Structure 1
Amino acid sequence: MKKINMLLTLALTLLLLAGCSMQPPEWAKPKKAATTGEMTIGLSISTLNNPFFVSLKDGVAAEAQKLGMKVIVVDAQNDSAKQSNDVDDLLQQGVDALLINPTDSAAISAAVQSANNLDIPVITLDRSADKGDVKTLVASDNAKGGRMAAEYLVKKLGKGAKVIELQGVPGASATRERGKGFHEVADKQLDVIASQAADFDRTKGLTVMENLLQANPDVQGVFAHNDEMALGAIEAIESAGKDIPVVGFDGNEDAINSIKQGQLTATVAQQPKLIGQMAVDAARDVLQGKSVASSMPAPLKIVTKDRAE
């Protein structure tokens, strides 16, 4: 009888142990709804060698600090392959949400889909991703900004004026959208005599503009898809001894100072710090189970010497 009781006790013990071992490991358990202080956000920036994106990063950092959130920042250095690897690293670190400012809207799609597979929400800033589930895009209306630039050049130079367009990084949504908006007006009211990529880079803007000036000495105006290229174009124009109006896009500090000094003519000014702030707020809302709009536009304005900040 004692032997039977011992066997029954042993069986019961084993059953209880088995029941305990059926609990799933911690990583497999569903996440509880996040509270603000528990959140860690990964921020992948296309480049920190551009004042606009530095301001965007600062906007993210300031809002995250205000809400008690942690931010891990990585700089893609305008390299789409590096950005994909950076995002993979952020995913491995277990971030709760991803904020991505894509270098290339197509190239970043695989990384977005990797985050989707892990149920990590993705929010894009300034530029979109071509594929994958993005909760929201926080950006200026780039097409509207392109139209604003063209309309300004028409007003300043008159219809039919010969203009050059400096494009951003091929494949970036901002390049496509700004160019699309610009041409909606320019193709009807201006004469676009040349259009070439300078990759949103000041040095390339200088080099490309030097070459375009030699090939198009009768140019009357320039639209650059960002301020960095516009400032490079100004250097080339001044070196050539010419006086040609240049319109940029972003409204960064260097551009505003250049406008005040009578060099850069105008810029379509964005609000990068506000974009960063809005993206953090959107991430918080998504993580707390709230719905967000598929796109969140930040306002734009033309800044000239008469209205320089």
Structure 2
Amino acid sequence: MRRGLRSAIGIASAGALIALAGCTTDPSVEPAEGDGGAQEEAPAEEWFDQEVYDKQFKQREVEPEGPDDKPYLQMINPEMKDTSEFKSEGGKKMCFANASISNPWRQTGWITMNEQLKELKKNGVITEMETRDAQDNDDTQIADIDYFIAEGNCDGFIISPNSTAAITPAVERACKTDKPVIVFDRGVETDCAVTFIHPIGGFAWGIDTAQFLIDNLKEGDKVVALRILPGVDVLEQRWAAADKLFSEAGIEVVDYFAEGDPAEIKKVVSDELAKGDVQGIWMDAGDGAVSAIEAFEDAGKDYPVMTGEDELSFLRKWKETDMTALAPVYTNFQWRTPLLAAEKIFQGEEVPSEWVLPQSPITAEDLDEYLERNEGMPDGHYAKFGGEDLPGFPEVWQERVIP
């Protein structure tokens, strides 16, 4: 576990834009000595990119283009790309190199993706998808992508990278096959893919969440930041934006990698509460959010101001406790979009070179609506999964049928 303390360095508005060090994605992540082999992350400022920060800050307010009832086909400020070179007849086989299905967010998306695949098979464009699961391992995913390339039986590639820098060369090799490559969820350091599909991004998440905490806390208050993985662009950017804004606002922050493990999260928060009061909890992903809340209950402390995620376990605990909270969203319905993009590409239709999907937090005003819409879904389900119009709804998600 890596721990770092950010002390207050002055007050400024959350919207103030201060240029920090340029963005880098160093692939080396070394274990921290004497700390159980946990990983040391790059300093937040090394992942800060002022231009991207500014862009995502503005995109949060943009009305997306596309059908209101199909958010997975909406797009923000798209620059369309000609795909006529890939137009061809007949059923197509997609090869999907997935980072993992090791957490509830990815499991929810994986279920939705497979339900979308069933529908596309009926249309005869995408008739098959071979998938390899890297189980959160860079080397495994690199081997998976190279296997698909060597197999030579893929009409196109879908890649959800495990990490940013390490997977880039393998993505570039896939691009050299002259078959369409679609990257989604996490990014890589190349633009060779036909389209890169993602919600607005990590900086937008960091801005929304940090601003919420700042608005509900005061200078000198303490926030515990719970993080899951180092070296993943969208996660590092969430923290880089939040760290910047907390520092500007005079909020004291201590951050930990707890890997989404509920027991570790509870231990971290309990240890911090034993040292003194904690007024806020910030998370770069909502896994284990309920454990953080339970640590306050066990210690007999007032509930914190908190940001979690749109996982139902957190939303239900939020409703039960009536705490001051926000559920940021890294829109799970993005798992549908790569297959729909592939269908468009093989039909020669334009797609955005960077397909930016909407990303709107669930607020206290929205909470009851999303709880009602997801009534009967398990705690590990994500409220904005966007699969309500697929034939398997709701049973497939209720039963957590993992393909």
TM-score, scaled to structure 2: 0.61
Q: Which residue of 1 aligns with 2:204?
A: 144
Q: How far does residue 59 in structure 1 lie from its aligned partner after superposition?
A: 3.0
The aligned counterpart of 2:22 is: none
Q: Which amino acid aligns with 2:307?
A: V
Residue 227 (structure 1) aligns with: 286
Return the offset for 1:252: 2.4
Pick 1 or 2: higher relative contact order, CA cutoff 8 A, min separation 6: 2
What residue ranges of structure 2 are gaps of 5+ in the alignment? 1-84, 371-403
Query: 1:183 & 1:165 partners in 2: Cα distance?
Result: 9
Kindly state the Cα deviation for residue 282 of structure 1 after the two structures are TM-superposed: 1.9
Please say which of residues 85-94 and 47-56 is displaced more in the overlay.
85-94
Which residue of structure 1 aligns with residue 104 of structure 2? Answer: 51
Q: Which residue identity is paired with 1:197?
A: F
In structure 2, what is the equivalent of residue 76 of structure 1? 134
- Matching residue of 1:39: 92
2:270 counterpart of 1:199: no
Match of 1:108 in 2: 167
Residue 111 of structure 1: CA displacement? 1.8
Supply the distance in 2 between the matched residues of 1:207 and 1:131 (Cα, whole angstroms).
39
Secondary structure at the aligned position of 2:352 is classed as coil
SS class of match (1:246)? strand
Query: 1:137 & 1:143 partners in 2: Cα distance?
Result: 17
**Would you say the 8 A contact 1:33–1:289 is kept in 2?**
yes
SS of aligned partner of 1:103: coil
- The answer to which of 198-207 and 52-61 deviates more is 198-207
Alpha-carbon distance between aligned partners in 1 of 2:164 and 2:174, rounded to the nearest angstrom? 15
Q: Which residue of 1 aligns with 2:239?
A: 179
Question: Which amino acid in the other structure matches residue 75 of structure 1?
Answer: D
* Matching residue of 2:73: none
Distance 1:223 1:133, change over 3 A: same
Tell me which of 98, 101, 111 is aligned to 2:157: 98
Within the candidate set 357, 377, 391, 1:298 is matched to 357
- Which TM-score applies when normalising by structure 1? 0.78
Opposite residue 134 of structure 2, the aligned amino acid is: A
- Look up the SS of the partner of 1:303 in the other structure: coil
Structure with bigger gyration radius: 1
- AA partner of residue 119 (structure 2): K
Q: Distance in 2 between matches of 1:100 and 1:200?
A: 23
User: Are residues 1:267 and 2:321 paired?
Assistant: no
- Separation in 2, partners of 1:139, 1:173: 12
Counting only pairs closer than 5 Å after superposition, residues 208-227 of structure 1 correspond to structure 2 as 208-214=268-274, 216-227=275-286
How far the C-alpha of 1:133 sits from its partner, in A, is 1.7
Change (3 A) 1:74 1:305: farther
Structure that is richer in helix per residue: 1
